[in-house]
Structure 1
Amino acid sequence: MDTLKLIALDEEDLQILSAHLQDSVLKIADIDYLPGESRLVLAVNRFVWELAADGKRHRSFERRRTALHFARVKSLKATGIDRRFKDDVLSLLVIRFIVGDAPSGVIELTFAANRALRLEVEAIEAQLTDLGPAWETDFKPEHEA
């Protein structure tokens, strides 16, 4: 399968990124906030939903190493995330945009176990880029309806 490259410039685009990134896992050490450059970069292991959602039963699924980049970040706040525990694993549930004084607002990354990142942004400008080959996983994330 080809690598995925997506850009989000509005709320609808961001929802598409969120769908592709649902159930991504990362370590706290994989979060890099660069305030001088107004950027936040995360390196995640993305579950490849576009293969799993084809309606066919699979023996195995895939994950890919993926970079998630946010530009125009004015500030970053964390809930339940302590940078001292770099090996703690986070599981991404959803990415949302909360409109402020448009086009600015807050991008919220919600993780399992009541953890979150809140990015105050000038505008939505995000990019998802798969970085390399996929690897197999037997586990498909399941959610209650």
Structure 2
Amino acid sequence: VIVANDIKFLPKTKKLICVFNRFMWEDAEKGIFRKNKRIRSALVFDNVSKVKSKGINPKKKTKILEFLAIKTEIKDNYFDIRLIFSGDSILLVRAEEIDSSLEDFGKTWETGYKPRHKI
């Protein structure tokens, strides 16, 4: 999940930074006594020329968006990267090349909620 205010496009440096509360699927274990965890994660795209959104109102800074998937395609010698959220919300990232990283930071915390979405 991500709060709309944690999505930042920095045109001068051509960066898009998204800071998520990421569900740690890699640690999710089945069992009665297992705990689900989340961690803060920064998803960074470099070489970004434009960012557009559908269904994401920048004035609603505290709106929570549930991140589902990434879809990419090539258009006019650019890469269109779609970050797809629940509720038909989309962040379209246009980049000269796909150059991205995902880095976790901070401490993990337990959560009682395990995501269950159809993509």
**Aligned twin of 1:12:** none
CA distance in 2, matches of 1:113, 1:73: 25
Q: Does 1:122 align with 2:89?
A: no
Q: Conserved in 2, the CA contact under 8 Å of 1:69 and 1:128?
A: yes
Deviation (angstroms), 1:119: 0.6
CA RMSD of aligned residues (A): 1.6
Structure 1 segments, 4+ long, off by >6 Å, are none
5+ long unaligned stretches in structure 1 = 1-24
The aligned runs of 1:86-125 (5 Å cut-off) are: 86-101=61-76, 104-125=78-99
**Aligned twin of 2:56:** 81
TM-score, normalising length: structure 2: 0.92
Of 107, 113, 116, the match for 1:133:
107
Higher strand proportion (structure 1 or 2):
2
Deviation (angstroms), 1:144: 4.6
Find the residue that maps to 2:66 and give its secondary structure: strand
Deviation (angstroms), 1:101: 4.7
Give the partner amino acid of 1:50: E
Residue deviations 1:62-98, cap 9 Å, x none? 0000111000101001001111110000000101111
5+ long unaligned stretches in structure 2 = none
Identical amino acids, percent of aligned pairs: 36
**Aligned twin of 1:143:** 117
Deviation (angstroms), 1:143: 3.2
Find the residue that maps to 2:109 and give its secondary structure: strand
